Structure 1
Amino acid sequence: LGDGETDEVESLGAIGMAGREKLDNLVFVINCNLQRLDGPVRGNGKIIQELEAEFRGAGWNVIKLIWGTHWDTLLQRDKKGILKKRMMECVDGEYQTFKAKNGAYVREHFFNTPELRELVADWTDDEVWKLNRGGHDLFKIFTAYKAASDHKGAPTLILAKTIKGFGMGQSGEAMNISHQQKKLDIESIKRFRDRFDLPVPDDQLAELPYLKFPEDSAEYKYMRERRMELGGFLPSRRRTAAALEVPPLETFAALLKASGEGRELSTTMAIVRIMNTLLKDKQIGKNIVPIVPDESRTFGMEGMFRQYGIWNQQGQNYVPEDHDQLMFYKESVTGQVLQEGINEAGAMADWIAAGTAYSVHGVQMIPFYIFYSMFGLQRTMDLCWAAADQRTRGFLIGGTAGRTTLNGEGLQHEDGHSQLMANMIPNCISYDPTFQFEVAVIVQDGMRRMFAEQEDVYYYITVMNENYEHPEMPVGAEADIIKGMYSLKKGGEGALRVQLLGSGTIFNEVIAAADLLKNDWGVEADIWGCPSFNELARNGQDTARWNLLHPLEEPKKSHVEQKLDGAAGPVIAATDYIKMFAEQIRPFVKGTYITLGTDGFGRSDTRENLRHFFEVDRRWVTLAALKALADEGKISRDTVAAALVKYELDPSKPNPMSV
């Protein structure tokens, strides 16, 4: 790392974990050149001392690589400790300035007392200028690295003091402009050549020739031998590992059936049930990696503690408080659950490590990382993008998802946008299922794609903590669920008809709206489950591109167009996400299309009130459908006005987007 980069909280936030786990195969090297892009890191202080204190306090072995070999003579001459005292007096801003000047300046301002000047009285200004820093001294560097490699029982930090822009001379060495310097003039290049004794004649300097060791030189042979020992010139990555035997969909048959009258459950319970089923599987159970950041009980995963254990390389050297209970807290050296505490970034790191094990270790793991959806993509989006870049495979589960599913804890839990964030990642496949059968179909197909066929994708699935009854899966709906839109229920015969779309918990409000439309207004509704507006949008865009590039062939239809082909009436979509989520499929809906969503902030005491506030509940879906029919001239506007009165919807209600 750079010393300035340690100001990023992610850089040092988890160093205590390395100390606790005694990771003596881990070595941090912090390049302490004392400068950021704009100026000193700690102009009035000493960044090396600060970092030493932080790492020692976290249980690290710290090696300070500060002064180069040329200082050794002076330190031997110093019998009174005045040189060490002076070294400690100077702050980093001064050390930067010393190296931006020359030997005469250093003599005057560093050796600033008669006793200190006496130490270098017989030295020329050039010799004073050559007093080097440890990070540029090959002998000191080797010694520090050797000591770090040999140390046992704790991770090691090497604090290497260096010079920003080393070798640039007056063109930028130890200057605040170093990072912005784009090129060196010919005189600076010449000084660089002379300083490092490079074999380039004056008449070739302007060409900046590439220098390399002769192939018969000792240096060339040494470097080649070392590179061969490391496996060759170019690093390579495994693209595949042994395929896993993914359980068929029938394994989750219980989830494909109706939950039963009066038996309510959440989609969070469904995903945990799936994980438990997979953990028991004789073929792939050992490959499942449950990951949770100190919220297992929130998600109903505490049963995994006793049965599978929480991994801890030290085991459990204490009797847990709840040892006499059925689901006691159990840590074990063979534990299968990874629990990083309140540390989403650490849990994401676990997930990436497990999800790339096929490439790094040649073994496929199936990680499930479950988190509050607002604490996932929003908080660790940089790592989500890095995971995509590294071709991570696995499941991210956004719990308590949607803007109205977990009211009462303020905006920190009201997720109305994580699905859109997921869609910004090209190889992230995302779903917002409503029913347990959707979850089962999606997870099983995801495992097939990632761990049998070994596609370089990963999944983001949002699940909720709201309990409700779940219907049986419509016959033959599997393929359409995966594509993102399936028919849940067709309306009856009637002159007036609308198409209702929904996902997540708000799909239940859409289903209820169909009853209001029929019973109160005589309007029939076809009900469509849309567990992935993101996949529908991608399919539509892909179809449009194909049609663009094949103008002489019969145009293809997107999945949305295929499903709505011949469907009568306006289309109304409602979700627990901002309107833009459902708006993505507008180009593929050939007719009136109305979207309802949770744009804006919202604070309410109940889910019902919050959904009314955001105008996504059954009454608002019904009103939107009636308004669309009126706009198409199929009913009178008086009917819409009557609905406002019947459902007690106040026309003067503030727009949720503006409050």
Structure 2
Amino acid sequence: LMNTTPDGDYQTYKSEHGGFVREHFFGRDLRTLKMVEHMNDAEVWNLQRGGHDYSKVYSAFQAAVAHTGQPTVILAKTIKGWTLGSHFEGRNSTHQMKKLTADDLKAFRDRLYLDIPDEALDSKLPPYYKPGADSDELAYMFERRRELGGSIPRRIVSAKPLAQPEEKSYDVLRRGSGKQAVATTMAFVRLLKELLKHSEMGQRFVPIIPDEARTFGMDAMFPTQKIYSPHGQNYQSVDRELLLAYKESKTGQILHEGISEAGSAASFIAAGTAYSTHGEHMIPIYIFYSMFGFQRIGDSLWAAGDQLTRGFLLGATAGRTTLNGEGLQHEDGHSLLLASTNPAVVAYDPAFSFELAHIVRDGLARMYGERDEDVYYYLTVYNEPYLQPAEPDGVDVEGILRGLHRYAPAPGEDGPGAQILASGVAVPWALKAQELLAADWGVQADVWSVTSWNELRRDALSCDAWNFDNPEGDQRTPYVTTTMREQPGPVVAVSDWMRAVPDQIRQWIPGDFASLGTDGFGLSDTRPALRRHFRVDAESIVLRVLTSLVQRGDYDRAALPAAIEKYGVTDISQVEEDHSGGLS
């Protein structure tokens, strides 16, 4: 009878009376009606649901603990607003009601057998009830607390810091790609293969892939790391003739989850908290189409932060215009903005492989070295191949890690100055714009690689909070403000993300600031056409820099229509197509 009774009826029963329950519940079957024929209506009304019957709850837990060999679930029938009186119990309005009346308070007191006199029941300010120090209730609670490890919840971490990879492990990225065009997704995979060779750390990496691993160029790991399966491989794979054939193993290191982002996020949390739950550091590397990360499993990633998870999220095929063949479903222009809402996430948008090397090295040190920080990293990497430069001599490593470094100083000194801030795949567009500005308009622009808009904002917010609380102390200045304060000309920010991403730092930029971005849904078209559509390509950057200079009074306004005509900025058909393809 209980299994065939709708939940709506259960709610109605508790809003009525014992006679109603007798007629409409027990009366639906003669056998159940006979079970309560010896009871009056008050006794029928006082029958407890399973979730409120202490003996049944205890018995259920006892049976669950004793049952082994398979998971156990306890289904507990309960009443919304239980013990709060007739105005609350079983009522749809329970969640909107904020206060108990005097009668409700008395009924609540009587229901829970609380030793509080009527005169103490002030409906506006009810008394705080605490059992006596020698009461059975407190004795039981303290006994359980001692059994569970103490009164203050704490995380016991016995995992020891890991020996860090040697500097030479990162040379595969620092030396650049030579004449081969390589996407930053592939650059990361190359680094991961090097790190997997590390004697202590290598076996602790847990690659997690919710889609086909070949999408990210990770098939090279199949023969060595293999794909975990509790049953091993019980079939012949269709690609068994290939050198990089699909291989499963009971001791596999790769978690190939299938298209299940929720399952992959659960694996990320499990591996990323193993340092606490098992006393062993594991390093989850969860790589996914960036559109299917924070947008699809944002709640799980919030829980990951709450559980002090550590590890790396890789938003591969990132950006609004790089994975251009699959339309708006896959074109991500906002995950960095979503990541900025999570206090545990350290997000980077590197342009070059050498930046990626420093970021990963620092991340491993922060999470698994002596610094022992409770954060996890989100790295946005792209599927568009371009030449990866070797690490410049004297590169500003601090700037890379803090979020901003000057990659290409202005080519000359004569002419108006400007600053172009670009991140990720937009840095090559900025470099082309730098050339056009100098050659066609005599404008000298510096190009800065913004490795993390989010970290620049986090630093600035921290400075603001300090200054707010310490008005008479030494005032702190955000890193981005200090870095850009003495730079000549306007600042133009550009990325393959919606403008709200670079706009995060707008208020801390001294002087004039303008941004370009990929606001709106994605489209299926060529990369150059999409970039012209969103006005983020090199020619659009040139026009935005010239516009900022005109607005400052530093350039002739006649240059603006001339630039539009020269480059065809408003005409998508005039773009120069490329054939860069996908990952390399």
TM > 0.5 fold call: yes
* 1:29-61 deviations in Å (ceiling 9; x for gaps): xxxxxxxxxxxxxxxxxxxxxxxxxxxxxxxxx
- What does residue 234 of structure 1 align with? 152
Q: Which deviations, in whole Å up to 9, do the C-alpha atoms of 1:605-631 show, x marking residues without a partner?
A: 200100000011111112222233333
- Identify the residue that residue 401 of structure 1 maps to in structure 2: 318
Q: Once the two structures are superposed, what CA deviation does each residue of 1:383-419 show, in whole Å capped at 9, x if it has no partner? A: 2222222222221111111111111211121211111
Q: Hey, what's the Cα distance between the residues in 2 that align with 1:367 and 1:132?
A: 46
Q: Judging changes above 3 Å, is the alpha-carbon distance between structure 1 residues 540 and 125 closer, same or farther for their aligned structure 2 residues?
A: closer
Change (3 A) 1:240 1:500: farther
Correspondence list, 1:337-416, <5 A = 337-416=254-333
Change (3 A) 1:162 1:635: closer
Relative to structure 1, the CA distance from residue 133 to residue 638 in structure 2 (aligned partners, 3 Å threshold; closer, same or farther) is closer
Q: Which residue of 1 aligns with 2:50?
A: 134
In the alignment, the residues of structure 1 paired with residue 7 and residue 460 of structure 2 have an alpha-carbon distance, to the nearest angstrom, of 58
Question: Superposed, which structure 2 residues align to 1:188-587 within 5 Å?
Answer: 188-195=104-111, 210=129, 212=131, 215=134, 224-238=142-156, 241-261=159-179, 263-452=180-369, 453-477=371-395, 478-496=397-415, 497-543=417-463, 557-587=477-507
Q: Which among 581, 587, 592 is matched to residue 512 of structure 2?
A: 592
Shift, 1:338, TM fit: 1.9
Distance 2:362 2:231 in 1: 37
Is contact 1:248–1:444 with CA below 8 Å preserved after alignment? no
Q: Give the equivalent residue in structure 2 for 1:174.
A: 90
Out of 46, 60, 66, the position equivalent to 1:150 is 66
CA deviations on 1:359-404 (whole Å, 9 max, x unpaired) are: 3232222221111111111112222222222222221111111111
Aligned mates of 1:342, 1:384 — CA distance in 2: 17
Identity within the alignment, %? 47
Cα distance, 1:434 vs structure 2: 0.8
Read off the aligned partner of 2:506 and give its amino acid letter: R
Instruction: Measure the CA separation in 1 of the matches of 2:408 and 2:237.
Output: 50
- The CA distance in 1 between the partners of 2:5 and 2:476, in whole Å, is 73
Cα distance, 1:114–1:608 mapped onto 2, change above 3 Å:
closer
Amino acid at match of 1:274: L
After the TM superposition, which of the residue ranges 151-160 and 595-604 deviates more from structure 2? 151-160
More divergent stretch after superposition (548-557 vs 123-132): 548-557
Deviation at 1:222, TM superposition (A): 5.8
Output the TM-score relative to the length of structure 1. Answer: 0.78
Distance 1:297 1:201, change over 3 A: same
Whole-angstrom CA distance in 1 between matches of 2:331 and 2:572: 25
Q: CA deviation at 1:544?
A: 5.0
Q: Distance in 1 between matches of 2:109 and 2:354?
A: 70
The SS at the match of 2:326 is: coil
The alpha-carbon deviation at position 432 of structure 1 amounts to 0.7
Partner AA of 2:349 in structure 1: D
- The DSSP-based 3-state class of the residue aligned with 1:627 is helix
Q: Give SS of 1:348's match.
A: helix
TM-score by length of 2: 0.87
1:616 alignment counterpart: 536
Q: Aligned pair in 2 of structure 1 residues 198, 644: CA closer, same or farther (>3 Å)?
A: closer
Contact 2:177 2:389 in 1 (8 A): yes
Q: Using the alignment, how far apart are the partners of 1:545 and 1:173 within structure 2?
A: 45
In the aligned structure 2, how far is the partner of 1:548 from the partner of 1:111? 65
Q: CA deviation at 1:550?
A: 6.6
Bigger RCO of structures 1 and 2 (CA < 8 A, at least 6 apart): 2
Please say if 1:165 is aligned against 2:81.
yes
SS of 1:158's equivalent in the other structure is coil
Considering only CA atoms, is the larger Rg found in Structure 1 or Structure 2? 1
Distance apart, 1:591 and its partner CA:
3.0
CA positional deviation for 1:652:
12
Flag the 1:476–1:398 CA change in 2: closer, same or farther, 3 A. same
1:308 deviates by: 0.9
Identify the residue that residue 577 of structure 2 maps to in structure 1.
none
Residues 214 and 303 of structure 1: CA distance in aligned 2, closer, same or farther (over 3 Å): same
TM superposition shift of 1:603: 1.5
CA offsets 1:59-91 (integer angstroms, 9 cap, x no match): xxxxxxxxxxxxxxxxxxxxxxxxx5xx66654
Q: Of 7, 10, 13, which residue of structure 2 is paired with 1:98?
A: 13
Shift in alpha-carbon separation, 1:91–1:347, aligned structure 2, 3 A: closer
Q: How does 1:79-90 map to 2 (within 5 A)?
A: 90=5
Partner amino acid, structure 2, of 1:436: S
Residue 579 of structure 2 corresponds to none
Name stretches of at least 5 consecutive residues in structure 2 with no aligned partner: 574-584
Q: Distance in 1 between matches of 2:128 and 2:471?
A: 52
Which residue does 1:71 correspond to in 2?
A: none
CA deviation map 1:142-168 (0-9, x unaligned): 443333333344322222223333334
Distance in 2, Cα, partners of 1:546 & 1:575: 30
**Length, aligned pairs only:** 566
Separation (CA, whole Å) in 2 of partners of 1:558 and 1:129:
65
Q: Structure 2 CA distance, aligned partners of 1:224 and 1:339?
A: 45
